[in-house]
Amino acid sequence: MTQAGAGRVAPAGVGARIASGPERIEMSGPALYAGLAEVSSFLYKQALTVLPPDVRSAIGRAQQNEPDEGARIRLRVMADAVETSDRTGLIVCQDTGIPVYFLGIGTEIPIDGARLQQALADGIEQATLRHSLRSSVVHPLTRHNPQTNTGRGVPIFHVEFVSGAPWLDLLLVPKGSGSENMSFLAMLTPAEGLAGVKRFVLDSVISAGAKPCPPTIVGVGLGGTADECVALAKRAIARPVGESHPEADIAELERLLCAALNATEIGPQGLGGATTAFAVHVEYAYTHISMNPVAVNIQCWRGERAKARVHADGMVEYGF
Amino acid sequence: MPTAWWNMASEGPASEGPASDGPASEGASIEAPVRRITGPLDSVTSSALRVGEVLRVDGVIWALRDATLIRIFDEGKAPPVDLTGAILLHSAPSIRKGEDGHYDPVSVGTTTSMRMDRFTRGCVEQLGARAIVGKGGLSRTSGESLQAAGAVYLSIVGGAASPETQQVDAIEETYFEDLLPECLWKLRVSNFGPLFVTMDSTGASAYEEVARRTEERRAKAEQILGI
């Protein structure tokens, strides 16, 4: 077993034994959707196996900044897990999650949305069978497990249309249950204001404690309706660590919240230490005059995600 | 800075007990001294473990979680094996079934223990388990059950399943296969860990200590937020 030196985690892809996804797919007929299924299959295994570069950097920084010996050991084990997966192709965590797709559909790419969603679901199933991934998806009442990591309503899709874009973006977040179970929504009053929002985020993270596998990425949704607010918080955890919101006042709120959460010293794995959150990301939408919704969605330390951009000519680019 | 509980606790009697081989050089990449224990555990060893110690396990560990425990305790179907002294692991592995019917591990990791909290007492009192390995900790009520039984809770680093999987040599036996993947799995392990003693037989809990300190630090967080 190799060990990372303190503060150093190998860059993504070094030594990774994972097969690559298709570099090009046919852009018409049934082959288009078969190609998209292959891309989806690759993204699922990739997200579970090769952690994003921003997460690796965050683990490294946390190791360097950590005065607590026990916390340093726990961060070292995380770095070791990242590198073990690079080397062996083993998935990092046993939790294969519930697949969540963020789709950016350019208006200049000819695509059938219904067939696209079916193809992406087929890809999740293919990866599950191909790589013997644990099926983590069940019927909510009967708990029936179809053993495919798919089912009615799964994958979850968040769809945006991108005006004038000649491409299709597929961002997959396989969301683990340990962190997803630590999700919170409050329909605050306007009189509770920003102070109420800040307090709710702090209280949520303190009550989650060790359970979401800190250090976490804390996603905060502000505004919208109840459903939109939670979706914004989910979108926030899918943003790369260290990428601040483009609006200065939101970015400042992110920075303040992150500093406050780390002041709690809940620490890596909730056993004390300097880093409780790698980052806080805030996304917002306008809301109603008599509403002040805030949602918290938490991503565990692995920050798993994988992305593909399919261009109109069929070329596929991969990233995180 | 936040070093107190860890340093204090590691001053305890770390190397006594019949199942211990003392600090091992294989854990040298991990900075703290590492104590080797063997599963199943004897009661002298389990009751001597103290919060703050870092462990590696050889021998047998039993993996189980929600559905298995519901089967055993809510449906009253005792497992057909003796679990006296067992080290239990809150886990449902990804597996691949070989042609001869045996299972190979694809990914063995550890899940959030609090979901299984109400089964702690049954695990230590009825099944005779002496250690529970999980992540995120157990409640004070469970801590009292562990204390009464001379048992411990051991924390693993959650989410770090790839090294954990490599420490599993074999899946030797499987019970309640209809609950796949939430069966009762007998795992043969080598150098499994590091595991951190976070709840011990004296009633000490690292999680309670962190929660107490977090409450103390809440004022600092509120000051940063200006609330």
Whether the pLDDT of residue A8 is over 80: the answer is no
Burial of A34 (0-12, 13-18, 19+ CB in 10 A): middle
Q: Given an 8 Å threshold on Cβ–Cβ distance, is A68 in contact with B29?
A: no
Of B108, B112, B214, the CB nearest to A206: B214
Question: For residues B14 and A210, what is the distance between their CA atoms, to the nearest angstrom?
Answer: 25
Query: What's the average model confidence in pLDDT over B31-44?
Result: 90
- pLDDT band of B92, cuts 50, 70, 90: confident
Query: What's the average model confidence in pLDDT over B127-154?
Result: 97
Return the higher-pLDDT residue of B145 and B101: B145
Domain B16-225 has CATH 3.20.130.10: yes
Residue B47 pairs with which residues in a beta bridge? none
**Alpha carbon distances (Å) from B89 to B110, B169, B180, B186:** 7, 15, 16, 10
- Domain residue ranges in chain A: 1-176+304-320, 177-299
Asked if residues A273 and A216 have their Cβ atoms less than 8 Å apart, the reply is: no
pLDDT tens per residue across span A210-227: 999 999 999 999 999 999
Average pLDDT, chain A: 94
The predicted pLDDT at position B32 comes to 65
Q: Given an 8 Å threshold on Cβ–Cβ distance, is B135 in contact with A177?
A: no
Whether the pLDDT of residue B27 is over 60: the answer is no
- What distance in Å separates residue B127's CA from the closest CA in chain A? 26
Could you tell me which chain B residue has the CA closest to the CA of A78? B160
Q: Given an 8 Å threshold on Cβ–Cβ distance, is B135 in contact with A213?
A: yes
Within 8 A of A69 by CB-CB distance, chain B residues are: 3, 6-7, 31-32
The predicted pLDDT at position B97 comes to 87
Query: What's the average model confidence in pLDDT over A138-142?
Result: 95
Closest by CA position to B193, among listed B156, B160, B223, B152? B156
Whether the pLDDT of residue B24 is over 50: the answer is no
Whether the pLDDT of residue B6 is over 50: the answer is no
* A92/B contact by beta carbon, under 8 A: yes
Q: Given an 8 Å threshold on Cβ–Cβ distance, is B166 in contact with A261?
A: no
Q: Which two tokens stand for residue A81?
A: 């897990």
The predicted pLDDT at position A18 comes to 53
Residues shown for chain B: 227
Query: What's the average model confidence in pLDDT over B166-171?
Result: 96
Whether the pLDDT of residue A15 is over 90: the answer is no
Chain center to CA of B23: 19
The predicted pLDDT at position A10 comes to 58
Of B137, B159, B210, the CB nearest to A300: B159
Alpha helices in chain A (DSSP H): 29-49, 53-65, 69-88, 113-130, 177-180, 193-208, 226-237, 248-263
pLDDT tens per residue across span A62-95: 999 999 999 999 999 999 999 999 999 999 999 9
Query: What's the average model confidence in pLDDT over B94-114?
Result: 90
Share of chain A above pLDDT 90, in %: 92
Whether the pLDDT of residue A9 is over 70: the answer is no
Q: Given an 8 Å threshold on Cβ–Cβ distance, is A265 in contact with B210?
A: yes
Whether the pLDDT of residue B16 is over 50: the answer is no
* A182/B contact by beta carbon, under 8 A: no
Query: What's the average model confidence in pLDDT over A139-148?
Result: 94
Range in A127-136, B97-106, B117-126, B133-142 with the lowest mean pLDDT? B97-106
- pLDDT band of B31, cuts 50, 70, 90: low
Closest by CA position to A257, among listed A230, A285, A221, A290? A221
CB proximity list for B126: less than 8 A, separation 6 or greater: B73
Within 8 A of B2 by CB-CB distance, chain A residues are: 67-68, 71, 265, 267, 272-274
* A9/B contact by beta carbon, under 8 A: no
Within 8 A of A81 by CB-CB distance, chain B residues are: 157, 159-163
- What distance in Å separates residue A136's CA from the closest CA in chain B? 9
The predicted pLDDT at position A12 comes to 55
Asked if residues A27 and A116 have their Cβ atoms less than 8 Å apart, the reply is: no
The predicted pLDDT at position A290 comes to 98
Of B30, B162, B166, the CB nearest to A92: B162
* A264/B contact by beta carbon, under 8 A: yes
Could you tell me which chain B residue has the CA closest to the CA of A81? B160
Within 8 A of A181 by CB-CB distance, chain B residues are: 112
Q: Given an 8 Å threshold on Cβ–Cβ distance, is B29 in contact with A131?
A: no
- What distance in Å separates residue B108's CA from the closest CA in chain A? 6
DSSP-assigned letters across all residues of B101-124: S-EEEEE----BGGGGGGGHHHHH
Within 8 A of B93 by CB-CB distance, chain A residues are: 94, 134
Q: What is the pTM of this model?
A: 0.90
Average pLDDT, chain B: 87
User: Which is it for strands B87-90 and B54-64: parallel, antiparallel or unpaired?
Assistant: parallel
The predicted pLDDT at position A7 comes to 52
Whether the pLDDT of residue A11 is over 70: the answer is no
Q: Which residues of B98-183 form beta strands (DSSP E)?
A: 103-107, 131-134, 152-155, 168-175
- What distance in Å separates residue A51's CA from the closest CA in chain B? 12
- Domain residue ranges in chain B: 16-225
Could you tell me which chain B residue has the CA closest to the CA of A300? B159
